[in-house]
Amino acid sequence: MRKLFINIKTLVVGTNNRLAPLRGHDLGQLTLISNAWLYCENGLIHSYGSDNTFKTINADATIDCNGQFIFPAFIDSHTHIVFAATREGEFVDRIHGLSYEEIASRGGGILNSAKRLQKCTENQLFDDAYERALQQIRQGTGALEIKSGYGLTVVDEMKMLRVIARLKEALPIPIKSTFLGAHAFPVEFNQNHEGYIQCILNEMLPNIAAEKLADYIDVFCDKGFFSPLETSRILDTGAKLGLKPKIHGNELGITGGVQVAVEHKAISVDHLEEVGEEEIALLAKSSTIATVLPGTSFFLGIPYAPARRLVDAGAALAIASDFNPGSSPNGRMSFLVSLACIKMKLTPEEAINATTFNAACALELQHETGAIYPGNKANFILSKPISSLAVIPYRFGEDMIESVYINGNRFDA
Ligand SMILES: [Zn+2]
């Protein structure tokens, strides 16, 4: 199918860089084309240009985008959308003054999600996660990462990863799967952390690798969860089985998450609400992408990661949703762009690059998506008629999206 989009008020190309995440000044640079056209063939971006230079193109369908913008689809590089139940009870507990850690210590939080997930069938989990993913695509997300980590037993972690494998088959967007068995210590291992680590190393990881169920490995390296040493051992075994790390670090304290991520050449270290100058300097020198999750800070009322300082220091920054039932029950990326601008003082251009191209780099997908580039998947957002790029974050909480195209097709599911 050959599709031509004409009269695009502004085509947000993104970046022409296809290799490495954008840093520093480059993060604020977006290539924009006014009065543009875009031509897609067989689900891929073929070419684009300005004014009437498309006249020789013979398309099967022509779409008039009068006054509208086209943006690359968002990439959500950090989600936990396979879960059994929402946790609005804990939300109310927090309103009454309990902290996230207090809720966790009472058997709430991740352990609550695990208890419920263990009772859930694979089909139930799939159906619910599939609906969440569809909703995310409708809101403009064109690629996703999904983690396990609410199973916390061999059987249930495998169950989650099989659900993610089915989502990869069923959905029209690229999906990466991350094994997060080290998300929390199950209650029965409360006094025996070593026992659970042995279970991850000797039972979960070999089985997952044998069935090729994960692309990445993750550990919640933080205060009250896994120590840097425990994290290191799990990542070492993962590396031997071909799993690259993407880790949770520095959400609850400065406890060495960034250091262990950089040392293990993690693709990304995610959260970073609690970092100091040392961590920022380390990330600036490393290839590890600093992924910040402003939806979690908004929802939990915890500090925002210092995204502005990370960018100014030269770190590669991505923004993701952390969509999960406990600390960020929402995957709307356009709201995160607003939060990034309002709370983190990023410019709209920086926030868009951090939710598209840099986020694609955090999933090693920069060669197929994350920008409007010939040969990339034709995954993009057609906005409502807007006057400028800044309207997207300015009209916070409102979808300025008219339609989403995935592989060149208008997404109607
Ligand atoms: Zn997370």
Å from CA of 179 to ligand 1 middle: 12
Within this chain, do residues 30 and 83 fall inside the same structural domain, yes or no?
no
Å from CA of 383 to ligand 1 middle: 29
Within this chain, do residues 284 and 235 fall inside the same structural domain, yes or no?
yes
Å from CA of 320 to ligand 1 middle: 9
Check which CATH number belongs to the domain holding 31 and give it. 2.30.40.10
Å from CA of 248 to ligand 1 middle: 6
**Which parts of 54-209 are beta strand (E)?**
61-64, 69-72, 74-76, 141-147, 175-182
Alpha-carbon span 114 to 83, nearest angstrom: 8
pLDDT of residue 150: 95
Mean pLDDT of 327-333: 96
Å from CA of 210 to ligand 1 middle: 25
- Tell me the CB-side half-sphere exposure of residue 158, using CA atoms within 13 A: 14
Å from CA of 324 to ligand 1 middle: 7
Where do we find the tokens 């959260």?
271
pLDDT of residue 346: 98
Å from CA of 211 to ligand 1 middle: 24
Residue 218 has pLDDT above 90, yes or no: yes
Å from CA of 323 to ligand 1 middle: 7
- Taking only the tens place, the pLDDT of each residue in 65-77 is 998 999 999 999 9
Residue 331 has pLDDT above 90, yes or no: yes
Å from CA of 7 to ligand 1 middle: 40
Percentage of the chain modeled with pLDDT above 90: 87
Å from CA of 79 to ligand 1 middle: 6
Within this chain, do residues 35 and 137 fall inside the same structural domain, yes or no?
no
Å from CA of 45 to ligand 1 middle: 32
Q: Which residue has the higher pLDDT, 41 or 19?
A: 41
Cβ neighbors of 218 (< 8 A, separation 6 or more) are 147, 149, 178, 179, 180, 182, 183, 245, 246, 247, 248
Q: How confident is the model at residue 111 (pLDDT cuts 50, 70, 90)?
A: confident
Å from CA of 271 to ligand 1 middle: 8
Å from CA of 184 to ligand 1 middle: 12
Within this chain, do residues 158 and 259 fall inside the same structural domain, yes or no?
yes
Mean pLDDT of 38-45: 97
Check which CATH number belongs to the domain holding 100 and give it. 3.20.20.140
Å from CA of 123 to ligand 1 middle: 23
**Domain total for the chain?**
2
Percentage of the chain modeled with pLDDT above 70: 100
- Taking only the tens place, the pLDDT of each residue in 82-104 is 999 888 988 998 899 888 778 87
Å from CA of 100 to ligand 1 middle: 14
Alpha-carbon span 406 to 224, nearest angstrom: 41
**SS3 at position 286:** coil
Å from CA of 178 to ligand 1 middle: 11
Mean pLDDT of 180-204: 96
Å from CA of 257 to ligand 1 middle: 14
Q: Are 177 and 168 in contact (CB under 8 A)?
A: yes
Å from CA of 101 to ligand 1 middle: 15
Alpha-carbon span 163 to 80, nearest angstrom: 12
Within this chain, do residues 174 and 130 fall inside the same structural domain, yes or no?
yes
Alpha-carbon span 291 to 320, nearest angstrom: 7
Residues spanned by the domain of 28: 2-73+370-410
Å from CA of 80 to ligand 1 middle: 6
pLDDT of residue 362: 98
Å from CA of 47 to ligand 1 middle: 37
The overall average pLDDT reported for the chain is 95
Å from CA of 67 to ligand 1 middle: 37
Within this chain, do residues 53 and 190 fall inside the same structural domain, yes or no?
no
Å from CA of 296 to ligand 1 middle: 9
Within this chain, do residues 89 and 201 fall inside the same structural domain, yes or no?
yes
Residue 55 has pLDDT above 80, yes or no: no
Within this chain, do residues 178 and 103 fall inside the same structural domain, yes or no?
yes
pTM for this prediction: 0.96
Å from CA of 262 to ligand 1 middle: 18
Cβ neighbors of 154 (< 8 A, separation 6 or more) are 199, 203, 204, 207
Within this chain, do residues 61 and 82 fall inside the same structural domain, yes or no?
no
Å from CA of 343 to ligand 1 middle: 20
Query: Shortest CA distance to 87 belongs to which of 396, 327, 392, 408?
Result: 327
In this structure, how many other beta carbons lie within 10 angstroms of the beta carbon of residue 67? 14
Within this chain, do residues 68 and 125 fall inside the same structural domain, yes or no?
no
pLDDT of residue 413: 86
Within this chain, do residues 65 and 91 fall inside the same structural domain, yes or no?
no
Å from CA of 325 to ligand 1 middle: 10
Q: Which two tokens stand for residue 200?
A: 């991850």
Q: How confident is the model at residue 399 (pLDDT cuts 50, 70, 90)?
A: confident
Å from CA of 270 to ligand 1 middle: 8
pLDDT of residue 299: 95
- Taking only the tens place, the pLDDT of each residue in 334-381 is 999 999 999 999 999 999 999 999 999 999 999 999 999 999 999 999
Å from CA of 149 to ligand 1 middle: 9
- Taking only the tens place, the pLDDT of each residue in 139-174 is 999 999 999 999 999 999 999 999 999 999 999 999
Within this chain, do residues 121 and 83 fall inside the same structural domain, yes or no?
yes
Mean pLDDT lowest among 88-92, 241-245, 296-300, 401-405: 88-92
